[in-house]
Structure formats: C-alpha cells, structure tokens
Structure 1
Amino acid sequence: MLDKDATEFDGACHCGAVRFHVRLSEGLHSARRCTCSLCRMRGAVAVTARLGDLHMLAGQEMLTLYQFNTGTAKHYFCSRCGIYTHHQRRSDPSQYGVNTACLEGVSPFDFEDVPVTDGVNHPSDGNGQKGDGIIGVLRFQSVGC
C-alpha cells in the first residue's frame, strides 16, 4: 500500500545513470498531472519538492535540459534513456516537480486518483485561472490482475 505521508525517496532514471535523493515537501499528497503540451505528451505524475531538497547522487552530467514557450520551466531528462526525472516549475520556480515513476518503490499506478491542473491556461499567462487550477481527475482502477 502506498504511504502518501512518506517524504524521503531515492530516485533514478530507467538506465540508472541519473540518481538522486529527494525530500518531498508534501509527501506523495502533491501528486498531479498537467494539461500543458509537454505534460500531455510525457504523461508523468509529478510530486513537489523544494529546490534545495533534490540532491543529485550520480549522473548530473547525463541530464539534458529542455525549455519551451516562455523558457521559465526547466525540464530535465536522462540523455541516455530519455526518461524525464524532474523539472523546475514555471508556476513556482522555487519548486521542482519530480516524476513519481523515478522514485524507488513508487509507481504512477499506485495513485487511484490524480488531480489534473490546467496547464493550457497557465496562471502566469493571465488567462484567468482561478482557485487551485484543478480541472479534473485521472483515475486508475485495478481490474484485479
């Protein structure tokens, strides 16, 4: 069973070249998906960490940076296996979004419901996004395999 209160995790990309340790500011309670063009395509569930709480253990030189649109968000990928590990958020540059699939012992399918934020109408664009920006929920329902 998933312990959403857990805050300390080791993580890695698929090939293991990039390894890190992270302290999540809200544990796994902050799990989210986003509707921006990049998040739609990568399909990751991300959780929140403060910038100073993600520490690279190995492979920092293997990370590739990708930026688009305003160039504010910084998305990091392993240059060997292509897995997205984390990104510095546009909505709050003092935070990282960390790919839950990279966290040891965690799978994105461990979350029954994942809130989805409106990344198309980003609050920084002045598009009138109100409240917490949640526009829906993705649900994983096991069929008992």
Structure 2
Amino acid sequence: MNQMYQGSCHCGQIAFEVEGELTGATDCNCSICQRKGTLMWFVPRTQLHLRTAPEAMRSYTFHKHVIQHYFCPTCGMHPFGEGVGPDGSAMAAVNIRCLEGVDVYDIPVHHHDGRAL
C-alpha cells in the first residue's frame, strides 16, 4: 500500500515528500555508501517531491559521475540521490534514515556488493 512519507536533512534545510510502498531498503558497501551509512529505498523520481528549493542542496558525484548524491551544506546529511535505473527511467535513492516515523530496524535490508561494480 502506497504511503506518503516526510523526509529531511538534520537541520531541515532540505525537506521532501516521497510516496510509495516501503517494503525494504538496500545497504550498499561501495566507498561512499559505507561511509555515509545510508539505507536506500529506490523509487521513481516522480514520487519524490522537494519541499525546498534545489539551491538549498549541494551534490557530489564520483566514479562514472552518473549519480547525484545530494547533501545539506549546513548539517552535512545525505537525504537522497538521483540517477537513472536500468530501464533508463529517472530514479531516486531515498535514505530511509532521513524519513520521519520510520523505524529502520523494522525494514528488511538487502545487502548490495557495490564494491564489485
């Protein structure tokens, strides 16, 4: 069942809503995800709605420079990233640790070997 979630960085400078069915998250061991400690929920980009201006965010890319890793320049939190899915559609990778009212310990986690890519 789809649900609307509210999310933000720690200080609230980046705020967003995301709609979908949160049935699991991905824990990736690539060089950036491991350091950030994110648990990602992949949704179509159309399901992520910014509540603050894009200018409030900064982004970082590395390796092939195809994923925009967004972060707050004030508090440093990484609430989501954007990229393209295998089918060519725009995707968002939402850090479920930045969603209000979500107990990350109740969400099944899939471990992804991002180091191998």
Q: TM-score range by the shorter chain?
A: 0.7 to 0.9
Deviation at 1:91, TM superposition (A): 5.3
Deviations 1:31-59 (A, max 9, x none): 11111100111111111211111111124
Q: Does residue 101 in structure 1 map to residue 97 in structure 2?
A: yes
**Matched positions, count:** 115
CA positional deviation for 1:89: 3.5
Q: Flag the structure with larger Rg.
A: 1
CA deviation string 1:43-98 (max 9, x = no partner): 11111211111111124222110000110111000111000010114654621110
Name the SS for the 1:38 alignment partner.
helix
Give the structure 2 partner of residue 141 of structure 1.
Answer: none
2:111 matched to 1:116?
yes
Q: Percent identity?
A: 31
Answer yes or no: is the 8 Å Cα contact 1:30–1:48 preserved in 2. Answer: no
Question: For 1:90 and 1:42, how far apart are their aligned partners in 2?
Answer: 21
| Aligned counterpart for 1:61 among listed residues 55, 58, 72 | 55
In structure 2, stretches of 5+ residues that fail to align are: none
Counterpart contact for 1:31–1:115, Cα < 8 Å? yes
Report the more deviating stretch, 81-90 or 61-70. Answer: 81-90
| TM-score, scaled relative to structure 1 | 0.71
1:16 and 2:7 correspond: no
- Equivalent in the alignment of 1:83: 77
Determine the structure 2 residue equivalent to 1:138: none
Specify whether residues 91 and 35 from structure 1 end up closer, same or farther in structure 2 by C-alpha distance, changes over 3 A only.
farther
Normalising by structure 2, report the TM-score: 0.87
Higher RCO by CA contacts (8 Å cutoff, separation 6 or greater)? 2
Question: In 2, are the aligned partners of 1:13 and 1:19 still within 8 Å (CA)?
Answer: yes
Alignment equivalent of 2:40, drawn from 19, 38, 46: 46
Q: Is the 8 A contact 1:19 1:59 kept in 2?
A: no
Structure that is richer in helix per residue: 2
Kept after mapping to 2: 8 A contact 1:10/1:104: yes
